[in-house]
Structure 1
Amino acid sequence: MTGSFAQFSLRVLIAIALVVCALLIWQLQSVLLLIFAAVVVAVVLDAFGNALRKLAPVPEGVSRLLAGILIASVLIGAALLFGRQISAQLSQLGDTLPPAWENFVDWAGPERVESVIDDFAPDGTSLASMVQTMFGALTDALSGLVVAVLGGVYIAINPKTYHKGAITLLPQRARDRVDAASRKTGKALRDWLLAQLISMLATFLVVYLGLTVLGVPSALALAILAGLFEFVPLLGPVLGAIPAVLIAGTVGIDTALWTIGFFIVWQQIEGNAVAPLAMKFAVEIPPAVTLFCLLIFGVLFGLPGLLLGGPLTVVLWMAIKTLWVEPRVSG
């Protein structure tokens, strides 16, 4: 009787501990997402560091630090060369988008647009407050990006220390399997990020050339937005096309229709040619799984969850595959 009561008490304590851990994780979700973003940055630096080590025999930590300096130099150089033009176009974009939205509302019908907004917005929420909330979320995301980049640099300088420390926290019997799974997951994440980078760069170049030919104002700024949105799988291309179509509508209905057709054609080319080629050596995840994971992460964590939904899906997919599916299939 005493043994049964002791086992029951132990199970209750374990259940309470699991609930407390779940609540603690939920309260720290923003911090955990920042840590994950830092890991993503470290993976990017590691990939570039590996490429540098093939060119010059330098230590791992130094190669990753040089990779970070090189990336920062390229970004700063691009900002110095095109900063004034980008700043002017972004300012013009900020001035043009509100009238473009008003033109769209007039064309679609104010009552119909308000009905759609009411369906998606909470009770009592106006469009202005939604936009204000969105800009606040973007500001928080940018400040979080700075922290993530700094954390990623620290992790990338000596990743083995953090990896070994995390593995040491696990029970002895699980360390080898988790260690092997984490290495496979890291490689899959690195390959996925490289594939996304190729797609983002291709989207930026094609959209810039296409919008310039079509005569859409602020083509460079719109191309940058489209390239950045490409980081979000499935939903990103649609989000990147919306500002361009709205701005094209200020030029004329013909330009807007040509812009819509251009994005449809490019997404077909990108989805059927560029992306499969870029993903050839990366992890392949069924589109439905990616879509539902993005929606889940977006609902749970908001904008940061949506932005990090792609790499989170890759990590979750590989963790389940290597820790759960493969051992049972091989067993």
Structure 2
Amino acid sequence: MTDTAAPSTLPVATQNVAAPATKAHAPGPTDIADRTIRQEAKKAFVWIGIAALVVLTVFLAQPLLVIFGGVVFAAAIEGGQRLLGRIVPGPRALRIVMVLVATVAFLAWLVYFAGNQIAAQAAQFPHIVEMQAQRAMGFLQTHGIEVGQADISKVAEQLIGGVGPVTQALGGIFGGMTTVFLIVILGIYFVLEPDIYRRGLAWMLPLESRPHVQGTMQRMGKSLRMLLFGRMIGMVTEGAATWALLAVYGVPMSALLGILTGLLVLLPNIGAPISGLLMILVGFSGGNDMGLYCIIVYLVVQTVDGNIVVPMIARKTVDLAPAMVLGAQLIFGVLFGILGLALADPIVAMIKIALERQAARNDEAPTPPGG
């Protein structure tokens, strides 16, 4: 009797123990049993995540540009302290303080100078541009070229609006003070302890990618410093030369035109034509001789800078195609305003370096067997 009862109770016990485990591992309503469908669903979720990231980036574009502006400012400070380190021994922090003090002193001088001279000149500037546009319309009409009054007014308004942010920044002591302040603060934080941020960024990446990413960041930092160094040399040479040459001839607003020319160097491909056009318009307001002199000054300054200064710096920095930079400036300028226009050049340079480094890494990777 015992032998016959044992087999009948064993399956019951086994079923009572196994039933909960089977139910716990059973597919739920959100599980995909088919392997192919599951793989395709994972791919779809990846693309959805990328699309969501792009949308999030668009919404956060302005803060991201401010952060990148802080990185650019930090690179400028770092380049200054490294250059200063060749002649001033001492700790790195001391040289950073010296660069910051020199920057603040220059800005204080610019503010003082702007408050005394540039503000009044900037207030007269739109009137001179519009007046010269009217003269140009009359000249064209006398030579048989019909141009409507509305067209000239529209062009003049666009020209004034295009340079408005710059002149307002000079006359109104940098209208976007909040953005400038945030960029400066972020730049100071970045340059004081750069290793913390590099390690933090590397920590979020896989172990095998960290050496490659750190090497890429080092190359980006060096190229960015050289790029900014070239821009600073261009700003000083073009601004000072324009100011001096115009002042010698007695061109009105020579100080404003010199500072505008220097600041517009930060906008390669776009800044030079704008500064030249403004210079010529102001020059012809004082007569044809003065206008022709301004044309000569513009050609001389741009020729020296474009054929001597820029090539010397370009050989040691990122080689960027002018059309690529111009296209990026147009896109970033339309999307993000003056900040995007100013940062388009370094953004394109950093993207180019990242792509080159990734391509070199792919070329160095060993080919899998049978591949």
Shorter-normalised TM range: 0.7 to 0.9
Larger Rg: 2
- Tell me, yes or no, if structure 1 residue 269 matches structure 2 residue 308: no
**Contact 2:134-2:152 at 8 Å conserved across structures:** no
| 1:1-331 equivalence runs, <5 A | 2-76=34-108, 78-79=109-110, 83-84=112-113, 87-109=116-138, 111-112=147-148, 114-115=150-151, 127=157, 131=161, 134-135=164-165, 141-324=176-359, 326-330=360-364
Over 3 Å counting, the alpha-carbon distance change for 1:112 and 1:150 in structure 2 is farther
TM-score by length of 1: 0.86
Distance 1:220 1:98 in 2: 17
Higher mean C-alpha displacement, 22-31 vs 314-323: 314-323
C-alpha spacing 1:112/1:181, structure 2 compared with 1 (3 Å): farther
Q: Quick check: 2:121–2:256 contact (8 Å CA) kept in 1?
A: no
Residue in 2 aligned with 1:123?
A: none
Shift of 1:68: 1.4
Give the conservation status (yes or no) of the 8 Å contact 1:185–1:315.
yes
Taking structure 1 as reference, are residues 112 and 189 closer, same or farther at Cα in structure 2, changes over 3 Å only?
Answer: farther
1:240 and 1:50 mapped to 2: Cα distance?
32
1:42 deviation in Å? 0.5
Say if 2:276 and 2:298, in contact at 8 Å, map to a contact too.
yes
| Residue equivalent to 2:141 | none
Distance, in Å, in 2 between the alignment partners of 1:253 and 1:307 is: 34
Q: Which amino acid aligns with 1:114?
A: A
Q: CA deviation at 1:291?
A: 2.0
Q: 2 CA distance for matches of 1:106 and 1:184?
A: 51
Give the distance between the partners of 1:318 and 1:116, measured in 2 at CA: 43
Superposition CA RMSD, Å:
2.9
Contact 2:129 2:160 in 1 (8 A): no
- Structure 1 residue 223 displacement after superposition: 0.1
State the 1:222 CA deviation.
1.0
User: Could you tell me how far 1:299 is from its partner in structure 2?
Assistant: 3.0
Q: Which has the higher relative contact order, 1 or 2, with Cα contacts under 8 A spaced 6 or more apart?
A: 1
Larger helix fraction of residues: 1
For 1:61 and 1:129, how far apart are their aligned partners in 2? 44
- CA–CA separation in structure 2 for the residues paired with 1:66 and 1:158: 17
Give the whole-Å Cα distance in 2 for the aligned partners of 1:132 and 1:226. 14
CA displacement at 1:209 relative to structure 2: 1.5
Q: Answer whether contact 2:137 2:152 (CA < 8 A) is retained.
A: no
Number of the residue aligned with 2:8: none
Secondary structure, aligned partner of 2:267: coil
**C-alpha displacement at 1:217, in angstroms?**
0.7
1:265, 1:132 → 2: CA distance?
25
Q: Do the aligned residues in 1 keep the contact of 2:234 with 2:310 (CA within 8 Å)?
A: yes
Deviations 1:223-266 (A, max 9, x none): 01100001111111112223222221221122122212321232
Native 8 Å contact 2:269 2:326 kept in 1: yes
Unmatched segments (≥5 aa) in structure 2: 1-32, 139-145, 366-371
TM-score by length of 2: 0.77
Deviations 1:204-232 (A, max 9, x none): 11101211123211211210110000111
Q: Distance in 2 between matches of 1:103 and 1:287?
A: 31
Contact 2:216 2:357 in 1 (8 A): yes
Percent identity over the alignment? 23
In structure 2, the CA distance between the partners of 1:32 and 1:85, relative to structure 1 (3 Å rule), is: closer
